[in-house]
Amino acid sequence: MSSAVKAPIAAGTWNIDPVHSTVGFVVRHLMVSKVRGKFDTFSGAITIAEDGTPSVTAEIDVTSLDTNNAQRDAHIKSADFFEVEQYPTATFVSTSVEPKGDDWKLTGDFTLHGVTNSVTLDLEFLGTNPGMGQGEVAGFEATTTINRKDFGITIDMPLEGGGTVVSDKVTINLEIEATKA
């Protein structure tokens, strides 16, 4: 029986497996709770250099947003937030990487709502596994926090007692399984 091994990952291209991966986010709602959502459609690749450092390209279909509430999803897809008719896709292209122990800080250009900003992800390599007959797989987790207003999503919905309906701060969580190309 094989288990995941956190040995150096093999150089080459690893394609993100959307069936075994999650692109999610968390945002504070009404100042007291959190709403979680995910995107059901995305793709990307992780290229591992000979020295073991990763570079990443990814694309997210923003129209595939799912917060488990159709009314909320429709509002978030509207011009108040993502404006998906004009900006249906978000992208990430890494620009630099630096080691952080056994893991990395991965910086790249994140484009959302037609605005590109540099973001840094804390990227953890979880290991590799021979897979289940479809080839070798690798696991990664990454997280970053962005300010939605930095990406032109500027709606303010103030509450009577102070604060806002939706926080400016959004945490992005990635749980990625990739297959060796």
For 28-76, the pLDDT digits (tens) are: 876 677 999 999 999 999 999 998 888 999 999 999 999 999 999 999 9
| Residue ranges, the chain, pLDDT below 70 | 1-8, 30-31, 158-159, 162-165
Residue 2 is predicted with a pLDDT of 46
Integer Cα distance of 18 and 129 in angstroms:
17
Give the DSSP letter string of 64-122. Answer: GEE-S-HHHHHHHHSTTTT-TTT--EEEEEEEEEEEETTEEEEEEEEEETTEEEEEEEE
Helix/strand/coil for 42 = strand
Task: From 166, 46, 57, select the one nearest 108 (Cα to Cα).
Answer: 57
* Residue 97 counted as domain residue: yes
The domain in which residue 155 lies consists of 12-180
The count of structural domains within the chain is 1
Whichever domain contains 164, its CATH number is 2.40.128.110
Please give the model's pTM, rounded to 2 decimal places: 0.90
Residue 143 bridge partners (DSSP) = 122, 173
* Residue 3 counted as domain residue: no
* Residue 56 counted as domain residue: yes
* Residue 136 counted as domain residue: yes
* Residue 55 counted as domain residue: yes
